[in-house]
Amino acid sequence: MASPKYQSPKGVHDVLPDDHLYFSFIKKVVRHRCREAGFRRISTPMFENLDVFVHSLGDTTDIVEKEMFTFESKSGKKLALRPEGTAGVVRAYLQHGMQQLPQPVELYYIEPFFRYNRPQKGRYRQFHQFGFEIIGESDPVIDAQVIYLSHKINQDLGIADRLSLQLNTIGSSEDRSRFKEDLINFYTGKERSLCEDCQKRLHRNPLRLLDCKEEDCQILASMAPKFANVMSEESKEHYGLVKEFLDELKVTYTENPYLVRGLDYYTHTVFEYWSQKDGAQNATGGGGRYDGLVELFGGTSTPAMGYAAGMERTIEHMKEAGIRPPNKDRIHVFVAQLGHIAKKRSLSLLNEMRERGINVVAAAGKASIKSQMKVADRLQAEYAMILGQIEVQEKTIILRDMDKGSQETLPMDGIVDVVAEKIGENRLDKRNMWEE
Ligand code: HAM
C-alpha cells in the first residue's frame, strides 16, 4: 500500500486510542498520589521567553546548545518551546507571588515538552512528562519525600522492579567550584583520550565528563578525583540525612558518584531511574535539588526540589512488563435499531444510559440489523440492544449478551436499570465524571 501523502514530522507521534489508555492511567495515578501528598496542579505555557531556559538550564548544556526549538515572535522576541518543566514553574512561582503562600509550595504537572534531538527509541521531539516540584524548603526530608513519591508512582504503575534508583550528591555551588578546578587539573594533558564532546566540555562544564557514555571517557572518569574529597561537611550531612530518610522509607537505591544530570540548576541531591536492563540509556525519570534557581530568577534565596518522568518511556516499561491499564473506553452497549420510530425512541434511551455512566454507541444509518450486529461485534460491545418496529409497538427491547450470544426480550420500562445492574454499577464511570 502506498504511504499516505502526509506523515507526521520526524520525531513526533500521534497518541492513538490504545496508548491513551496508558496515558490516562498514569495521569490518574499521578493525580491521586500528588493530591494525597498535598500537591496542586499547575500548567505553564508551552513556550516561554528563551532566556527563561538559557538562564536556568545553563548555556553550556546539551539542551540549550543543541536541543531547543527556538523561534522569534513577529516583534522579534526570542521564544522557545519548553524543553522541560522546572524553569517555567519557577518563573510562575515568582510571577504570581507564590513566595507569599505558606511554604513550601507543592506543584505538579502533566504536560507535553519539546526537544530537538536525534529521534530514536525512547527519545522524541515531542514527549510528555509528569513532574512535581516542592519550592521553599531546604530540609533533606523533602528530598526523601520527593524520591519516595516518584518511587511510589513507579510501584503503582507496576514498573518499580524494572528500575534502579541511582542517587548522588553534587553538593553546593562552592563545593562544585572546587571540584571543577580539580577536574580541569586532572583532565588537562589527557584531552586526546576524550571524545569530541568532552574535549569541548572540559573547560565549560567539566562535571559532564563524569557521566559521558563513551567508553574511553568512562575509564578516565573512574580515575578522576572524587567529589567526596572536596565536599563541605554541611553537604555531606545533607546527603547523609537523605539516605537515612530513604532507608527509613525502605526505598532502595544505588549510590552513583558519576551521576551529575544534564541541567545546570541542580545542587546537592540528584537522582535518576535507570532501566535494570539498559542502564543509563533512556532513564525513565530524574530530578534533584535546585536551591539556587529561584534566586537566579531574581527572587530571594529559596531552596527547592523536584522530579520529572518521561511518560513514553514509562509506558514502554509498562508494556514490557505486560501491564494493561483498565480500559474505560469499553463499549457497554450497542443500540441497533430499525425504522424511523425506533431511531427516534432510541435517542432518549441513549441519553438515559449515558447519564448513568454506561458507554453507548448507536447505529445511525439504515443498515440491516444483521450488519448492525456485525458492527457491535467489531466494537466488542458487551451488550446489544435491538429495537425494531415490533419492539417499539410492544414497548419491549431485545437485549443480547454479545459474549454469550444469548438474548432475551425485556420490557422497555426499567431497561436501563437492568443493563446497569448487568454491567455492574461499580464499573460505571459516573462518579468520576467531572473529576480532573
Ligand atoms: P530530564 O532528566 O531532562 O529532567 O527529563 C526527565 C525525563 O523526561 C527523562 O528521564 C525522560 O524519561 C524524559 N525525556 C527527556 N527527554 C526526552 C525525549 N527527548 N524523549 C522522550 N522522553 C524524554 C527534567 O526535565 C527536569 N526538569 C526534572 C526535574 C524536575 N528536576 C527537578 N524538578
For ligand 1, mutation pick of 19, 84, 289 (most atoms within 8 Å of CB): 84
Calculate how far, in angstroms, residue 394's C-alpha sits from the geometric centre of ligand 1.
62
Q: Do 57 and 116 reside in the same domain of the chain?
A: yes
Sheet holding 396-401, edge to edge: 360-362, 333-337, 383-387, 396-401, 406-411
User: Whole domain around residue 57: which residue ranges?
Assistant: 17-172+232-320
User: Do the domain assignments include residue 48?
Assistant: yes
User: Residue by residue, what is the 3-state secondary structure of 153-189?
Assistant: HHHHCCCHHHEEEEEEECCCHHHHHHHHHHHHHHHCC
In a domain, residue 241? The reply is yes
In this model, does residue 433 exceed pLDDT 90? no
Mean pLDDT over 119-142 rounds to 97
Q: Which atom of ligand 1 is nearest to the CA of 133?
A: 33
Q: Residue 430: pLDDT above 80?
A: no
Q: What is the DSSP letter of 328?
A: T
- Are both 288 and 412 inside the same structural domain? no
Domain assignment present for residue 3? The answer is: no
The reply to whether 110 and 167 lie within a common domain is yes
Q: Is the pTM of this model over 0.85?
A: yes
Cell reading at 405: 450470544
Shared domain check, 337 and 272: no
Residue 349 domain-assigned (yes or no): yes
Which ligand 1 atom minimizes the distance to the CA of 117?
Answer: 19
| Among candidate residues 320, 350, 383, the one where a domain is terminated | 320
Indicate whether 289 and 395 sit together in one domain: no
pLDDT digit string, tens, across residues 93-126: 999 999 999 999 999 999 999 999 999 999 999 9
List pLDDT tens digits, range 143-190. Answer: 999 999 999 999 999 999 999 999 999 999 999 999 999 999 999 999
Q: Is residue 327 part of a domain?
A: no
Q: What percent of the chain has pLDDT over 90?
A: 84
Reported as a pLDDT band with limits 50, 70 and 90, residue 328 is confident
* Same domain (yes/no): 163, 300: yes
Let me know: does 288 contact 305? Beta carbons within 8 Å. yes
Q: Are residues 269 and 346 in the same domain?
A: no
Q: Give the β-pairing of 396-401 and 383-387.
A: antiparallel
DSSP letters for 268-293: EEEEEEEETTTBTTT-SEEEEE-TTH
Whether 328 is covered by a domain: the verdict is no
Q: Which of 298, 320, 342 is the last residue of a domain?
A: 320
Same domain? For 23 and 166 the reply is yes
Q: Nearest C-alpha to atom 23 of ligand 1 is from which residue?
A: 310
Residue 436 burial (CB count, 10 A): 6
Using most ligand atoms within 8 A of CB, pick from 126, 129, 145, 282 the residue to mutate for ligand 1. Answer: 129
Which amino acid type is present at position 119?
A: P
pLDDT of residue 95: 98
- Mapping DSSP to helix (H, G, I), strand (E, B) and coil, where does residue 310 land? strand
| One domain, residues 314 and 410 | no
**pLDDT per residue over 259-310, tens digit each?**
988 888 999 999 999 998 887 778 999 999 999 999 999 999 999 999 999 9
Same domain, 304 and 405: no
Angstrom CA distances, 157 to 1, 43, 355, stand at 38, 23, 30
The finding on whether 268 has its CB within 6 A of some atom of ligand 1 is: no
Q: Say if residue 404 is in the same domain as residue 280.
A: no
Mutate-to-test residue for ligand 1 from 69, 127, 132, highest number of ligand atoms within 8 A of CB: 127
**Domains identified in the chain, total number:** 2
Does residue 11 sit within a domain?
Answer: no
Q: Which residues contact 295 (CB under 8 A, 6 or more apart)?
A: 301, 302
CB of 286 shorter than 6 A to ligand 1:
yes
Same domain, 344 and 247: no
Mean of pLDDT values over 130-142: 98
Assigned domain for 208 exists: no
417-422 long-range Cβ contacts below 8 angstroms, 24+ apart: 419/332, 419/333, 419/353, 419/358, 419/383, 419/385, 420/353, 420/356, 420/358, 422/383
Q: In which band, very low, low, confident or very high, does the pLDDT at 228 lie, cut at 50, 70 and 90?
A: confident
Distance 262 CA to ligand 1 centre (A): 9
State the pLDDT at residue 432: 55
Instruction: From 88, 97, 124, select the one nearest 306 (Cα to Cα).
Output: 88
From the CA of 123, give the closest atom in ligand 1.
20
Q: Which atom of ligand 1 is nearest to the CA of 306?
A: 33
Please indicate whether residue 61 or residue 187 has the higher confidence score (pLDDT).
187
Task: Name the average pLDDT for the chain.
Answer: 93
CATH for 76: 3.30.930.10
C-beta atoms surrounding 281 within 10 Å: 13
pLDDT tier at 426, thresholds 50, 70, 90? low
Q: Which atom of ligand 1 is nearest to the CA of 87?
A: 27
Rounded-to-integer distance, Cα 253 and Cα 267, Å: 19
Q: Is the CB of 271 under 6 A from ligand 1?
A: no
Q: What is the pLDDT of residues 344-364, one digit of tens each?
A: 999 999 999 999 999 999 988
Please calculate the CA angle 232-300-262 and round it to the nearest 5 degrees. 55
Q: Is the pLDDT of residue 83 over 80?
A: yes
Decide whether any atom of ligand 1 lies within 6 Å of the 58 Cβ. Answer: no
Q: Which helix (H) or strand (E) holds 399?
A: strand 396-401
- CATH number of the domain that 379 lies in? 3.40.50.800
Joined together, the cell numbers standing for residue 393 give: 409497538
Q: Which three cell numbers stand for residue 80?
A: 522557545
- The residue among 320, 347, 362 that closes a domain is 320
State pLDDT tens for residues 369-425. 999 999 999 999 999 999 999 999 999 999 999 999 999 999 999 999 999 999 986
